[in-house]
Structure 1
Amino acid sequence: MSSSATTLQGVASVDDFLNVAATETAPLFEYLEFEFLLEYDVFAPASRGRTRVHNPPELFKGFLHCYYKGIYGTRPVTRELHNTLTWLSCGFEKPPSRDTVDRFLTDLELVVDDVFDRLVEQAACRGLLDSTYRIDSTHVTAIQYNDEATWNYDSTAEEHYYGFGCVIVSAGPKIPIAAEFTQRKQIDAETAMRVTKDALAVDTPIWMLGDSAYDVLEWHDFLLSQGVVPIAPYNPRNTDDPLDIEYRVEDRIDEHAEDISLKQSVLAGTYDHRTQVERTNEACKDCGLGHVRARGRVHARTQVFLALCLRVIVAVTNYERGHNPGRTKLKTL
């Protein structure tokens, strides 16, 4: 008999047991709404044939618990969810089977974007987002057995890696608010535009910051049309007649809004805050984004978004407990 099972002896109720021996991750489930997972048809039992066992809120909490503890992959997750204290804390009536865990991960991929968006909404309604959005890409390392990953070059680290990429928009205390899973770290203009529009669906900021990779006319003009000031360093590329500007927005403002002027010192001072997105990326990697243990693109993408969800939940939980929401871990009371 396991030590956690032994602890149950002599305890009047499950609630008493959980109060005495609450898991480190129990606070993650106290302040956010998870029952919205029941709204997704993908988790509904089959209409005919063998009934499929689904516990979406409990399974989602189980994955959050495991990712917080650095446990990834369906086998390790299943083993952890067979710990008595863990499955009771997550709300299960009994520990789930490996097939149930694997099936949930596959089904979750179909709605994980919406799940992430709902959690971001819960962070936004608490006033945790600021008026400066930052966009950046990061590498996602994969296991060598993931045949759908590829070799890529990370220019920031100046090294090659095997895996995928992820572009993230962050706001507030290291909170990801929009993201996309990509085949490589470098992204195209279409992906940048899609993620930017997803971010503006959360709220309209004053500033949007990106590195020189975002020196794209379409990106700048779209943001200006939405009343957002984009700041990305001007990249002259191979032009024979470079503009005398530091940031592309200087030229776009002159062309489209003659009555508006922006001081270069203001642009430079604001752009200095772009490094916050790099800290967001690192915080998300602490939640599981850094090294994807899953096989295949479907489970890899799901793990990336689970890591982003966990980062949002940690920020909200720390905030609700009166602690710094920028902390990457829960503070022990």
Structure 2
Amino acid sequence: MSSQTASPADVLDDTPVAKVLRSAKRRVIAALDLDFLDEWMDNGPGRNPKYDRSQMLRGLLLCTAEVKFQFRELEECFDSMIGRLICEFDDETPVLSTIWECWNRLQPYIQRVFDRIVQLLDSVGLYGDRFAFDSTHLPCSRTDPDGVWMWESASEEWVYGYGLLVAVDCASDLPAGAVVVQRKQHPETATLECFERLIVNTDVTTVLGDSAFDTLEFHDRCVDRQILPVCTYNPRNTADPLDIVFRIEAFAEESDIQLDRTALQDAFDGRIAVERFFSTAKEDDRRLSFRVQGRQRVETHVGLVLIDRLLTALANRLDNPTANLRKAKPW
């Protein structure tokens, strides 16, 4: 995070449309600088799109904020008076096939858009420096060929769908790193990908995780970057278990460093932030109820929902500089 912290209003464009919108969330969507997407996405061979990619993304963000994901709802949202104002459509608005084409082409860029918005929020001081890692399942229709069966230990049942791995700020419950994975029980490569995105997006001093994150490569990368990993030790990973609670204790012993286990436990308790994040994200079943099928389209849907959570926080602070960032108020 930069030494001089900007305010939420400082990072938004001064657009005439934003000034007439009463809702802070709508003002944020209208004033957010999304021109970078026009540079990232090429038109493709023989393509000359009628609408800028930034316009289309702005419309999809509006649909996400209003929880409109059914195909006709998408078209109606784009064609509404608010949609026309926010997206600055001149006369005609995009038809469903145009919206669908944008959705299909957005997946390779949605992760970068999310990272960009995280960095924007970091520049206005909305993140702390301790982050909790965890994963959850995202149910989908059994007709989706890319979904898989996975065991959900909390509810003790098999569920069909995808997995979502996130790194959530312990101070604000805001996601700062995220990866859609095949299943909740993700490989170490997904953890490392999420970690690398996180440390690019914001400053990190401590990461927290349960025994699923007790891997040597993950701990090595954290220690190499002078980040403290507080992850519970998994004795099932070896035939000769160590007398430790957290994996970092073994690293410390090798370097003759004394760690206070009570302090580590106190830090680990901050992991509740990621549990609150998942609970809040799933409160409205419609938000993560997929109307699309196929991993790429699902990744776009999840990316839009995560970005919407960040824009809600930005809007809350735009309305009230002391607003509780953990509150994901319905719009």
TM-score by length of 2: 0.86
Give the equivalent residue in structure 2 for 1:33.
33
Letter in 1 for 2:28: L
Letter in 1 for 2:61: L
Q: Deviations over 1:200-244 (max 9, x none)?
A: 122342210001111111111211111011011111116443211
Give the equivalent residue in structure 1 for 2:327.
327
Give the equivalent residue in structure 2 for 1:280.
277
More deviation, 274-283/307-316: 274-283
Cα distance between partner residues in 1 of 2:238 and 2:62 = 52
Q: Deviations over 1:16-55 (max 9, x none)?
A: 9993x7568413325532222222133x3x564x632232
- Matched residue SS, 2:212: helix
Query: For the structure 1 residues 311 and 167, does the alpha-carbon distance in structure 2 shift closer, same or farther, using more than 3 Å as the test?
Result: same
Cα distance between partner residues in 1 of 2:142 and 2:19 = 39
How big is the shift at 1:316? 1.5
Structure-to-structure mapping, 1:85-234, within 5 angstroms: 85-93=82-90, 94-171=92-169, 172-234=171-233
Letter in 2 for 1:205: V
Cα distance between partner residues in 1 of 2:99 and 2:307 = 18
Cα distance between partner residues in 1 of 2:297 and 2:18 = 34
Confirm or deny: 8 A CA contact 1:174 1:280 kept in the other structure.
yes
Matched pairs, number:
311
Query: For the structure 1 residues 189 and 17, does the alpha-carbon distance in structure 2 shift closer, same or farther, using more than 3 Å as the test?
Result: closer
Q: What root-mean-square deviation, in Å, do the aligned CA atoms of Structure 1 and Structure 2 show?
A: 2.4
Percent same amino acid at aligned positions? 27
Confirm or deny: 8 A CA contact 1:140 1:292 kept in the other structure.
no
Runs of 4+ in 1 over 6 A off after TM superposition: 15-18
Q: Say yes or no: does 1:304 pair with 2:302.
A: yes
Confirm or deny: 8 A CA contact 2:24 2:319 kept in the other structure.
no
Cα distance between partner residues in 2 of 1:31 and 1:253 = 48
Cα distance between partner residues in 1 of 2:231 and 2:315 = 33
Confirm or deny: 8 A CA contact 1:168 1:176 kept in the other structure.
yes
Structure 1 unpaired stretches of 5+: 1-14
Query: For the structure 1 residues 75 and 143, does the alpha-carbon distance in structure 2 shift closer, same or farther, using more than 3 Å as the test?
Result: farther
Cα distance between partner residues in 2 of 1:26 and 1:165 = 30
* Bigger radius of gyration among the two: 1
More deviation, 265-274/297-306: 297-306
Cα distance between partner residues in 2 of 1:18 and 1:85 = 13
More deviation, 64-73/266-275: 64-73
Cα distance between partner residues in 2 of 1:176 and 1:40 = 23
Query: For the structure 1 residues 31 and 270, does the alpha-carbon distance in structure 2 shift closer, same or farther, using more than 3 Å as the test?
Result: farther
Confirm or deny: 8 A CA contact 1:23 1:89 kept in the other structure.
no
